[in-house]
Structure formats: C-alpha cells, structure tokens
Chains A and B, each alone.
Chain A
Amino acid sequence: MVWVNDIIQGILIGGLYALFACGLSLMFGVMKVVNLAHGDLAVIGGYVAVGVIAVTHIPVLWSFVIVVPLMAVLGYVLQRTVIQASLDRSILTTLLVTFGLSVVIENGLLQFASANSHSLGTDNAIITSSFSIGSQITIAYLLLLIFAVAVVVLLGLQYFLSRSRYGRLIRAVADDREAAQLSGIDYRHVFGIAAAIAFGTVALAGIAYGMYSQFSPTTGTDTILLFAFAAVVIGGLGSLWGTLLGGVVLGVAQAIGAQISGSDEFLAGYIVFLAVLVLRPQGLIARRGQA
C-alpha cells in the first residue's frame, strides 16, 4: 500500500513538473531557444502573485487571472527585444543571453525581495487540506488541482496549436521561418505570441509551486529549471504530452526514491533522466511532426 501511495503522489506531482516543462518545451520547439531563465521567470511569477495578492486582496486561487496576462505581456516584450536580438546573432547567443537573464533576475530578486522564502495561500483550506483513501493513501486537494490544471493547459495548448489560426502560424514558423515570411508572416510577431503563451504557463507553474512549497530567489535554477529539463528530456523534446509523461515519470521516480531512502529522492529522478538520455535520447514520446 505504501508503494501505491508513492506512485499516486508521484503521478500527481508530475502534473506540477509538466507545468514547469511545457513552456520550456514550447519555446524550444518553436524558436529553438533553450531558455535558461525559465525557472527564474516562474519564480518571478510567484513574486508577482505575492505582490498582486497583497495589493488587490484577490483570493490566491484566482491570482492567476492577473499574473498570467502580466507574464504573457512580459514574454512578448522580452521575446521581441532581448531574445530576438540574440536569435538574430546565433542560437548559442540565446543560451548566453538567457543565462545572463537568469543571473540578473536572481540577483535582482535578492536585492529587492531579500533571500527570505515566500509561499502562497498557507491560510487557504483547499490548498492545505487533503483527503484519505483507506489508511495509507492521502491525497492533497492542491496536488489534484495542479494535476488537473496541467492537463487542461496541455489540452488547451494542443487545441490551440492544431486548430486555431495562430496555432497554425506557430507550427508553420517552427517548420520554416523563411518560407513563412514568403507567405507574408512576420515570424518575429509569431515568436512573440509563442513566448507570451510560454510565459503564461510559466506564471501558472510559479503560482502552483508557491502553493505547493515555498520559493526564494534561487529556487528557479536549483529546482524548477532542473525539473523542467528532466521532464522535457524524459518525455521527448517538442512533444506536449511527452512533457506530462516526463513529469509523471520524474515524479514517480522521486517518490519511489524517497521511499527507499529519504536522501535518494532527487537522485532517483536524475538516474531515470540519465537512463533515458542514454537509452532513448529522443525521449519516451518522440516528436513526430507536430510541435
């Protein structure tokens, strides 16, 4: 029964990891940008939520209504300025620039928000309570909610990419941006839209993490970015459902590792990550055509 509980917890936490990962996957799939500031941007999302709640007294579960659009705008602006400028030089430049962005964000947060950690909604009953099945299995409402949000986000993204006009343009630009230009499409604008969507999911990831645990200025690189990378690599680069599968596999591996020995939690996750890299480098769900 203990193992069943571990696997259930692992699957649920996988939803959070999928939220971490899908923005990273989208930006890589469309712009070939490996955004090393991804985790720090999620942390910014968390801090923005803290600020928004303090100012507007909006219920924490509804804070995303404000934070997601704010982060989406930030995503569009960053893409059209800093990231696009580095893309125009080379793919390697984007690595350096997003790494620089990550350092700037972390130190900026340390400077202006101190090294203290924050969390969201510790006084909210839905976020802190759980229910039990039998005597061994306890499920937190929050994890269930996060998992559901992750599935909804992925379904929404899938639908948007495959059915909407802008989704079609995003896939076209990801395939061949020069050919898209010849069809009258300003790929920089389409990149901006894709970045806005990615940053929107990053905001959700930051809020979800803030409710689940606590964040400080360095959480972005030492936790979120690493888990996002692991989930993306395990699941398969560029595959949306692969990120969910990757998140779940990572979550389950960590839960089982923790059961074996408390200190093996993260090690187990990274061993699976490494094993996938060696044995199936294209990921569990290899990208076929679709972004």
Chain B
Amino acid sequence: MSGRAAEQGTPLLEVSDLTVHHGQLRALDHVSLRVFPGEVYAIIGANGAGKSTLLRTIAGLHRPTEGSILFDGTDVTRVRPERRAIGGIVMVPEGRRLFPSLTVEENLQVGATYARKGPWTAERVYELFSWMKDRRSQQTAQLSGGEQQSVAIGRALVANPRVLLLDELSLGLAPVVVQRIYGMLPEILSTGLTVLLVEQDVSQALRVASHLQCLLEGRTTLEGTPADVTPQQVEAAYFGLRGAPADQGSEPLWSGSTTSSRGS
C-alpha cells in the first residue's frame, strides 16, 4: 500500500488537462490523472465536484472541450463510447442503469455481446454473486437495489474490461450492502483488472483505494495514497477549507461521522 510501486511502468489510463463543459458550466477544469495497471484509483469529492463527469468523459459519454485521454498509449479522446467499451474501458454507470425489460441473464448476455477474451463469463459472475444463478430469469425490476448493483457489475465484468469504471456504487444502498459489494473487489481485482472508482463515501473509498484523488468544483485539490494523506488534508480538500486548523478536535471524516454539518 505504500507509495505507487507501479509508477515505473506505463499508465493504463492517462488523462491530461481535461476540461468539460455542461453548457456554460465548467464541470471539470484541467483535471489530470494517471492510472497504472492493477491499481484501485479512487476519485472522491462532494456532490457536484465533477467526479461523475470525469468518469463519464473517460467512458466517452461527454465530449471534453480541452485535454486528452490516453488508453494504453492510444489517444481515445474522440473515440465513440461503444468503441471504448469494446477496447476495454467499461463503466458501471451511476444508478445501475440495467435494462429493465430484460432478465438478469439477458442483461449479462448484452454485456457480453462484444466481450474481449478473458476470464469473466456469466458462469463466473454467478459464482461471484451466489444468489444470481437461481434468479437469472427474473426481470431486474424485481431485484433489490443491492442485487441490481451486483447485476450491473456483472454486466460490466462479462465484457472483460481492462479498466473498470465504477460510478458511485454506494448510491442509494444500505451501508451493509455497500460493504458486501466492496468486499467483492479483491476477487474482481485478482483477475487482473484495474479499477477507477468515484465515491462520495470517503471512508469506503479510503478502505479500498491504492491511490486517491479529491475533486472540488472541477479541480483537483488533493492527490496521494491513503497512507500519505492525513484526515485533515482530506477534509480540507473535500470541502475546500483553506488552512483549516489541524487540531480542531473534530472526528476524522471517515470514521462514520455525517458530513452535513461540516460546511464552511
């Protein structure tokens, strides 16, 4: 966990000076990042910090106004999202976005339509989520939120991505369910994937990440390994508190405290 052992190699994903506008609004302002193979790279930040925009732009759903995205050394900035998915950048979108009129099995089949060769098959996904096989012919609308999230992860995995983008896995799920889903991450990583995830739940992100980047209003405010950064730094970067005193005596952000009363 200390430092970035992989730093010497070439990054799998290299985002340089990415700027994205939603109409007049500048959602991302010259954000850069480099994700190395085998990493779990976590982007944290408050609502509206631009995290999801960053992930969606990497997946190809937004056009950047400036900057570039290199995937395994190839410039994919202008490549259509479906081509990126086939190339190995696969996203689990915010809010699951399953195909509601399709069964669990059909959702996985759609995910595998243009799959790369690799270890992940529907069978392997059924092994990972043991409940799924028996309920594979159910429509996904009948599943609980956590189950839907699992199917969404499965749908992405069967494409055999090289880099898996996870957008707010915890959204709308009970903490115990979030724990369980993040608990699957080591097994997923053991198949050689790289993960870039966006998470509002900072404690969860810190628990799984090997590298961390904090966004605030579209800009990077902090970057490092979880071991490198102090709770105070994260808090300052998350809320934009400049020169926040280090010894306020407040609980660190990730020990389960609520964040609502902690504004400026």
Which of A's residues lie within 8 Å of B, judged by CB? Answer: 165, 168-169, 171-172, 174-176, 178-187, 289-291
Whether the pair A185, B82 counts as a contact (CB closer than 8 A) is yes
CA gap between A187 and B81 in the complex, in Å: 11
Name the CB-closest residue of B to A174: B101
Name the CB-closest residue of B to A183: B111
CB distance from B171 to the nearest CB of A (A): 15
Whether the pair A182, B93 counts as a contact (CB closer than 8 A) is yes
CB distance from B103 to the nearest CB of A (A): 10
Whether the pair B102, A175 counts as a contact (CB closer than 8 A) is yes
Determine whether B155 belongs to the interface, using a CB cutoff of 8 Å to chain A. Answer: yes
16 contacts between A and B (CB under 8 A): A168-B102, A168-B110, A171-B99, A172-B106, A172-B110, A176-B97, A178-B61, A178-B93, A181-B61, A181-B81, A181-B82, A182-B61, A182-B81, A183-B114, A184-B85, A184-B90
Name the CB-closest residue of A to B141: A289
Determine whether B22 belongs to the interface, using a CB cutoff of 8 Å to chain A. Answer: no
CA gap between A180 and B34 in the complex, in Å: 27
Assuming the contacts A168-B110, A169-B110, A289-B139, asked whether A182 and B99 have C-beta atoms less than 8 A apart, the reply is: no
Assuming the contacts A178-B61, A182-B91, A183-B155, asked whether A291 and B110 have C-beta atoms less than 8 A apart, the reply is: no
* Most chain B beta-carbon neighbours within 10 Å: one of A179, A183, A186, A290: A183
Whether the pair B110, A185 counts as a contact (CB closer than 8 A) is yes
Assuming the contacts A178-B61, A178-B93, A289-B139, asked whether A183 and B110 have C-beta atoms less than 8 A apart, the reply is: yes
Whether the pair A175, B113 counts as a contact (CB closer than 8 A) is no
Whether the pair B93, A184 counts as a contact (CB closer than 8 A) is no
Give chain A's interface secondary structure class. helix
Tell me which of A175, A181, A183 contacts B101 (CB under 8 A): A175
Closest 10 interchain pairs by CB?
Answer: A184-B114, A289-B101, A184-B85, A179-B97, A175-B99, A184-B86, A181-B81, A172-B99, A172-B110, A181-B82
Sample of 4 further A-B pairs with CB below 8 A, known A178-B93, A178-B97, A183-B85:
A172-B102, A182-B91, A186-B80, A291-B101
Name the CB-closest residue of B to A186: B82
Determine whether B206 belongs to the interface, using a CB cutoff of 8 Å to chain A. Answer: no
CA gap between A174 and B101 in the complex, in Å: 9
CB distance from A288 to the nearest CB of B (A): 8
CA gap between A165 and B141 in the complex, in Å: 21
CA gap between A153 and B218 in the complex, in Å: 53
Residues of chain A with a CB closer than 8 A to B106's CB: 168, 171-172
CB distance from A172 to the nearest CB of B (A): 5
Name the CB-closest residue of A to B158: A183
CB distance from A208 to the nearest CB of B (A): 30
CB distance from A232 to the nearest CB of B (A): 19
Residues of chain B with a CB closer than 8 A to A176's CB: 97-99
- The interface bits of chain B over 83-127 (1 if a CB of A lies within 8 angstroms of the residue's CB, else 0) are 101100011010001111110001101110111000000000000
CA gap between A289 and B91 in the complex, in Å: 24
* Most chain B beta-carbon neighbours within 10 Å: one of A168, A172, A184: A184
Whether the pair B85, A181 counts as a contact (CB closer than 8 A) is yes
Residues of chain B with a CB closer than 8 A to A171's CB: 99, 101-102, 106
Determine whether B27 belongs to the interface, using a CB cutoff of 8 Å to chain A. Answer: no
CA gap between A174 and B156 in the complex, in Å: 19
Residues of chain A with a CB closer than 8 A to B82's CB: 180-181, 183-187
